Structure 1
Amino acid sequence: MSIEVNNINKRFGQFVALDNVSLNFPSGELTALLGPSGCGKTTLLRIIAGLEHTDTGQVLLDGDDASASHVRERQVGFVFQHYALFKHMTVFENIAFGLRVKSRATRPSEKEIQEKVHRLLDLVQLDWLHDRYPPQLSGGQRQRIALARALAADPRVLLLDEPFGALDAKVRKELRRWLRRLHDELHVTSIFVTHDQEEALEVADRVVLMNKGKVEQIGSPAEVYNHPASPFVYGFLGSVNIFEGNLHAGVFDLAGTRFDVAGHDDAQNAKGLAYVRPHDIDVTRYVTGQTGITAQLNRVHAIGPLAQLELQRTDSSEIIEVTLSSERYRELELKEGEIILARPSKLRVFADGAVK
């Protein structure tokens, strides 16, 4: 099922949760709604589910206007962060619950319910826990049962609100790999809300970046990470260093080093901000007369394949984060407290007025 939302607006009192949001979610894709707390992503998910009403705008399911449809009519499966399992029911009974409360005309036979629940338990690899109760399960197991319960009603759309937010880091990583494999098997149109950048980039086919009720950028994980459309996206997706400099006629001057930058040919002695990832900065020993950002090496964390360097600029005391391969760091033979030169190898410049 394809999902389309057109010109969605939603306020809670004076707070603007969604500001004229329009999006299309293609059939069979797994889309992540990503952004900080309060950006509107969960409100949008609840509107698609029918759990929240819009002030204005439409929700289309396979081209049909579902804005006035009850949540039961939308055939949506919803998975919450905190599982919402019935503690007094076994795992089997939790999954069967939605099937057993259907109207007599649509309710499967008891045999069909038994077969379907065991198929779903096999799918989430937990059939061996069918007679346990939720308090006897780990957090990861409970979330997989919650997902099986959502799938029991054969939803046309699967919506997940911070599905792994209550779990520890190791379990989160295991479950998001598992969710990706499950989606590749089922191909149910799925939307999941997260504030975890790594989670969105690893799991989703497409990422929708949201901020202050608006959509900042839409694209594949590679597109939004490698080609951020705004300063917000650049800053939200991973670590970034921000450098002030002068922008004039398509040239950005940073501490005496000049960079040709596209899209700023009309700039005339303007302030610019350069956004640079830690792995896009080269460092060398300080040599008098060479251009670059002069900085002191304050701290090094070199464990595993990468070395994380913390530098402090000598002219402004600002901190610079640099990531090198451990092999490159050993070659340089740098020492903490040493003065070195840092030079961006790749940067994205925004005019100062464009940064909000």
Structure 2
Amino acid sequence: MSIQVRNVEKRFGDFVALDKVSLDFAEGELTALLGPSGCGKTTLLRIIAGLERADAGQVLLSGSDASQQHVRQRNVGFVFQHYALFKHMTVFENVAFGLRVKPRGERPGEAQIRDKVRSLLELVQLDWLADRYPTQLSGGQRQRIALARALAVEPRVLLLDEPFGALDAKVRKELRRWLRSLHDELHVTSVFVTHDQEEALEVADQVVLMNRGQVEQAGTPEAVYNHPATPFVFGFLGNVNLFHGRLELGAGGGVLHTGEASLPVVAGSYEADHEDGSEAVAYARPHELDLERYAPGAEGIAVTLRRALALGPVAQLELEREDKLGVIEAALPLERFRHAGFREGELLAVRPRQLRVFVQRGEGQDKNAARARGAHAAKQGATQ
């Protein structure tokens, strides 16, 4: 079943939780709603489920307006962060609960319920725990039982609110791989909320970046990571270096003057509405930087290597700008770092291989531009 959200608005007093949000969730896809706390992602999930009522806008399920439907009528499975299992019931009875409380005319027979529950417990690989109670399970096991319970009623849509947020890092990683595998087997239209960038990029078919009640960008994990539409998206997805300066445009590109350095900017890496001489901020990720020993006239930014941390296959470098405009983080393959022989305290030149440049506007202009980019990005993401 597909989901369409059209111009949804939600306020809590003076706080705007959702500001005219429009999104399409394709049938059979797994979508991540990603963003910081308070950005509106959980509110949007609850409105789709029918647990919250929007102040304005529509929720369409397979093209039919479900905005006024009760949560029971939507046939949605919901998995909470803290499991919400019944402690006084066994694992088997927890999974069977949704089937047992169906209206009499829709309720399966006892033999059907037993077969269904056993099948679901096998699906989540916990059939051997059927007679145990939730307090006897690990956090990861409880979350899998909660998912089995949500699937028992054969929902048209599966919604998960921070499903792995209460688990430690190792268990989270194992469970998100398992969720991806389970989704590939079931193909239930699914939406999950997370603030974990790695989780969203690794698991989802589509990622929706939200900020202050608006959609910043929607698209495939590769699209949002490699082609961020806004400064917020660039900064939220992984570590990033910022270079503030003035953009001078020329034929086929331009130059960003930042501190005592001038960095080349290729055409297409900045928006068309940039004007020559605009105050701008450029972004580059740590792995997009080249390093060499400093020499007079060297291209790039003069820096001092303050700290080098060689962990695994990558060396993480902390570089202090000589013009006192902050610290730059660089990531080099360990073999290249060792071959270069860089030492802490050494003077180096850092040069971004690529920059993404955004013009700096006033607050009102920023909001309007972000809204326009977000609407366009959401439309583009829905068509991918």
Report the counterpart of residue 286 of structure 2 in structure 1: 278
Per the TM alignment, residue 355 of structure 1 is displaced from its structure 2 partner at its CA by: 6.1
1:264 to partner: Cα distance: 4.6
Match of 1:251 in 2: 254
5+ residue gaps, structure 1, are none
Post-superposition Cα deviations, 1:313-351, rounded to whole Å, max 9, x if no partner, equal 010251100000000100110111111110000110011
Residue matched to 2:319: 311
Q: Tell me how far 1:268 sits from its aligned partner.
A: 1.9
Deviation at 1:267, TM superposition (A): 1.4
Which residue in the other structure is 2:380 paired with? none
- Partner of 2:37, secondary structure, is coil
User: How many angstroms apart in 2 are the aligned matches of 1:264 and 1:98?
Assistant: 54
Q: Which residue of structure 2 aligns with residue 11 of structure 1?
A: 11
Amino acid corresponding to residue 62 of structure 2 in structure 1: D
| Runs of 4 or more above 6 Å deviation | none
Work out whether residues 245 and 252 of structure 1, in 8 Å CA contact, stay in contact via their aligned partners in 2.
no
Pick one of 262, 276, 286 that aligns with 1:268.
276
C-alpha distance in structure 2 between counterparts of 1:187 and 1:102, whole Å: 24
TM-score computed with the length of structure 1 as normaliser: 0.98
- Cα distance in 1 for residues equivalent to 2:92 and 2:107: 17
Structure 2 counterparts to residues 31-70 of structure 1, below 5 A: 31-70=31-70
Deviation string for 1:15-69 (max 9, x for gaps)?
0000001111111000000011000000000000000001011111111111111
Cα deviation digits, residues 191-213 of structure 1 (max 9, x gap):
00000000000000001110000
State the match for 2:299 in structure 1: 291
Residue matched to 1:227: 227
Does 2:353 match 1:345? yes
Identity %: 67
Asked if the contact 2:76–2:157 (Cα under 8 Å) also holds between the matched residues in 1, the reply is yes
The 3-state SS of whatever aligns with 2:107 is coil
Could you tell me which residue of structure 2 aligns to residue 90 of structure 1? Answer: 90
SS in 2 for 1:256: strand
What number of residue pairs does the alignment pair up?
356
Q: Deviations 1:68-112 (Å, cap 9, x if unpaired)?
A: 111000000000000000111110010001111111111111100
Give the TM-score of the pair, scaled to structure 2.
Answer: 0.91
The residue aligned with 1:81 is 81
Aligned residue number for residue 146 of structure 2:
146
Contact 1:239–1:277 at 8 Å: present in 2 too?
Answer: yes
| CA 210–265 in structure 1, closer or farther in 2 if over 3 Å, else same | closer
Maintained 8 Å contact 2:265/2:354: no
CA-based RMSD of the aligned residues comes to 1.2
Cα distance in 2 for partners of 1:266, 1:8 equals 32
How far did residue 118 of structure 1 move? 0.3
Shift of 1:248: 2.1
Specify the alignment match of 1:326 in structure 2. 334
Q: Secondary structure at the match of 1:103?
A: coil
Q: Kindly provide the CA deviation profile for residues 132-185 of structure 1, in whole angstroms up to 9, marking residues without a partner as x.
A: 110110000000000000000000000000000000000000000000000000
Tell me the secondary structure at the aligned position of residue 112 of structure 2. Answer: helix
In structure 1, the partner of 2:2 is 2
Q: Is the 8 A contact 1:252 1:261 kept in 2?
A: no
Instruction: Tell which deviates more after alignment, 244-253 or 4-13.
Output: 244-253
Matches of 2:20 and 2:127 in 1, distance apart?
44
What residue is the counterpart of 2:168 in the other structure?
168
Name the CA shift for 1:307/1:110 in 2 (closer, same or farther; >3 Å): same
Q: Which residue of 2 aligns with 1:104?
A: 104
